[in-house]
Amino acid sequence: MAECRACNVCDNPGTPDTSPESARIASNVRRFHHESFTVWRCTNCRSLHSLEDADLDHYYKGYLFQSQHLDFHTRLGYRNRLKLLRKHGLTRESRVLDYGCGNGLFVQFLRGQGYAHVAGFDAYAPQYQDRGVLDQTFDVIVSFDVIEHVEQPPDFVSELAGRLRAGGLLVIGTPNAERLSLSFPMALELHQPYHRHILSEQALLGLGTRCGLTRVEVVTRHWLDTLIPTANSRFLWEYVYRAGGLVDAGLEGPRLGMIARSPRLWFFALAGYFVPMRGNMIAVFRK
């Protein structure tokens, strides 16, 4: 890898020298919080890019999101994902791939819901590293919180599109650069150095078009959002901010005392669904 000196997701690439916005962003992972990285915005497509090279094998060793569990809140969010997929044609006979599946929680969830033909792939998860699964084609490919981690998003979308059957569905969930400001360095979606390229909606839809895909829908509400108290992205984000801005806090045991003493957290626990975060998007494409 090399430094990112030009936008690699749009037709008229901006550069760090012409960027309208750049900042040094500290890692929001506890182990690496002492390290900072330069993030800059493309003047054309408004996507965000991490400037410096990074040894990702080093940063992904023991990656905290690999320790997630299929808990109550995660199941509620996965029901939202499943509802979206059903809306656009998922059936129990569909062949499904979760690309970048982590430790396979969504794969397990779908199988538990009676979807037998579900596979997962993740280069950093030992149980899902077998690239042989990618020799198949699929009716539905989902990829949540992955494209922002890859070095070449155009190649990534092209690879997924190439594994879709005609008429197949591609669903990509990712942060939306247009909704993020570098003047707020604690934004969880910046997540340095893991998020190499955070795309704008314009850039993501453009990549889909270049790969012969048709836009079906763009969802701006986070898949974690439900009406059930505490089960919404706004509460989670506010909780992590109040806990110091490190994403580790969202995966550790709840700090009940901190919640009890914060009227703001109480408010978002109960009403966060109605004041959602807008820093993420889900793009649905058809081949």
User: Which parts of the chain have pLDDT scores under 50?
Assistant: none
110 and 130 in contact (C-beta within 8 Å)? no
213 and 286 in contact (C-beta within 8 Å)? yes
Q: What is the pLDDT of residue 211?
A: 97
Q: Domains along the chain? A: 1-207 (3.40.50)
DSSP 167: E
Alpha helices in 124-188 (DSSP H): 153-162
SS3 call for 75: helix
Residues in the chain: 287
Alpha helices in the chain (DSSP H): 56-60, 72-87, 105-112, 153-162, 201-210, 233-242, 256-260, 263-271
39 and 61 in contact (C-beta within 8 Å)? no
Whether this model's pTM surpasses 0.85: yes
Q: What is the pLDDT of residue 265?
A: 97
Amino acid identity for residue 212 in this structure: G
State CA 57 to chain mean position distance.
19
Own/partner long-range contacts of 214-218 (Cβ < 8 Å, ≥24 apart): 214/285, 214/286, 214/287, 215/283, 215/284, 215/285, 216/88, 216/169, 216/284, 216/285, 216/286, 217/88, 217/283, 217/284, 218/281, 218/282, 218/283, 218/284
Distance, CA of 205 to CA of 213 (rounded, Å)? 9
For residue range 50-104, list pLDDT tens digits in order. Answer: 999 999 889 988 787 777 889 999 999 999 999 999 999 999 999 999 999 999 9
Q: What is the pLDDT of residue 1?
A: 61
**Which helix H or strand E contains 214, and what residues bound it?**
strand 214-219
